[in-house]
Amino acid sequence: MLITTTKGDMEESLLEKREGSVDNDNEMTTWVEYWHEGELVHRSAHVTLKQPVTFGDGVAAALG
């Protein structure tokens, strides 16, 4: 599979792949990095928002 990198499209097999994720009350995030000879050449991220912004739920009371 070809990966888009800072050096043009490169075969995935030539790259070191690193992945990670974060899951908390606010977001679920995954990211993937590809490194070539110690250099970051690709990074993508996918954030899923989980926390709505709300007017109500105690805010009205706080406003008095």
Partner 1 sequence: MANTQSMCTTFMKELMLGQHQFGTSTLTSRTSLTAPTTDTFKAAMYFVSATINASTTAYSATGEVTNTSGAGYTAGGLTVTNATAPLSTNTTATAGVAYWTPSASFVWTALTITTAFDSVLIYNSTQSNKAVSVHTFGSQTITSGTFTLTMPANDTTNALLRLSTT
Q: Which residues bind partner 1 (CB under 8 A)?
A: 4-6, 22, 26-27, 29, 31-33, 40-57
Q: Nearer Cβ to partner 1, position 14 or 22?
A: 22
Beta carbon of residue 40, minimum distance to partner 1 (angstroms, whole number): 6
Give whole-number Cα distances, 40 to 3, 13, 19, 57, 63, in Å: 12, 15, 13, 44, 48
Beta carbon of residue 12, minimum distance to partner 1 (angstroms, whole number): 14
Q: Does residue 53 contact residue 34 with C-beta atoms inside 8 Å?
A: no
Beta carbon of residue 31, minimum distance to partner 1 (angstroms, whole number): 7
